Chains A and B, each alone.
Chain A
């Protein structure tokens, strides 16, 4: 047995069968504390066409920046009403909606502080492995000195920061390819 990670394969067109039982588009949960935010997302392919068969997973910290996970030294203080995970498919127009609370700031490398962000995985037929990205918030705080955003060329940072709509919702377009291809990460 060689101990290197198993190869990834696409979720394919039928992931709803395996994933639907954990569909929840409220990443925080109804009882979580914090500033409520609504995200209206859209996934587009290299032709600019909507992707109607993608699935989005989100992982985030609570409003105080604590993850519900033993590796976080602050996990004992995590908001008991907070969940931290969402999974939602796109609809026929490539759209998805996620409700949550705005996460607090969490530690970054070398004692730095990260701006509030969601960790996001994008999966779909035609993607042989998950595409990891992040969503930041238009008003930060801290986008200007976030240690991860700093690694992204300035002209591409906007792909990770949604626009604020008139009703206060955040509108985020995930582009799989093209001039404005969303920044995807490896870690």
Chain B
């Protein structure tokens, strides 16, 4: 069906690198994850195009989650930064990265969150940044806490930050979570462990980074995102 004028598609997911829709240990996937299997379709203009968002949409302190609320939030101040790349190793410039997280005590500023931990009047846990021409991004925030959830008895999420990225196409949309090195909860977390391949899983764990650690101010954590990349030719499997 492919012809020379058809858009080049995106590479199929590498084995074990993406979670299944239904992962039994993560309870709510059992009634919410599609079970019939997705239907593969050829990439058309509808899939290889997508929305873009300019810097004019962002507030001046959108990339600083410690600012703008009148005082310093409680917790360990950190930098999180790195690059957004595609599967061909090319940077993804000028793309929107959205983040949300709980506070240092493990509580989200959200009416659904009933965890008995304090809210922080100086922390909303929301930010946005647009990558630069080399695909780089950086946020300042505070290190999120652990919190319990009701998936199973004594279930605790590893500390994490939620990320949402668009990339150049609807096909490159990615929502994920970034974790922290050495977190003892990682190996017990059904969401983290839904990714079958261990290497792929551990690529969602950030790395401590001296290069962005600022003396007498904040630790730095490095985290690169890889968005789906185009096939080299329309015929590549």
A and B bind: yes
Using a CB–CB cutoff of 8 Å, the interface residues on chain A facing chain B are: 1-19, 21-22, 45-47, 49, 51, 53, 57, 59, 61, 67-69, 71-72, 84-85, 106-111, 114, 117, 119, 121, 123-132, 134, 147-148, 151-152, 176-177, 181-187
Interchain CA distance A59-B52 in the complex, whole Å: 11
Using a CB–CB cutoff of 8 Å, the interface residues on chain B facing chain A are: 1-3, 5-7, 9-11, 13-14, 17-21, 23, 26-36, 38-53, 57, 85-89, 98-100, 102, 108-110, 112-113, 124-126, 128, 162, 164, 168-171, 173-177, 191-192, 194-195, 199-201, 203-204, 224-229
**CB of A87, distance to nearest CB on chain B (Å):** 9
A7 pairs with B204, CB closer than 8 A: yes
B33 pairs with A8, CB closer than 8 A: no
Give the 3 A-B residue pairs with the shortest CB-CB distance, closest first.
A126-B28, A18-B100, A126-B32
Additional A-B contact list (11), CB under 8 Å, known A71-B168, A109-B1: A3-B88, A6-B176, A6-B226, A22-B57, A126-B31, A128-B21, A130-B175, A176-B32, A177-B32, A184-B34, A187-B10
Point out the residues of chain B lying under 8 angstroms from A177, CB to CB: 31-36
B204 pairs with A9, CB closer than 8 A: yes
Write the chain A residue with the least CB distance to B172: A5
Point out the residues of chain B lying under 8 angstroms from A8, CB to CB: 18-19, 174-176
B18 pairs with A106, CB closer than 8 A: no
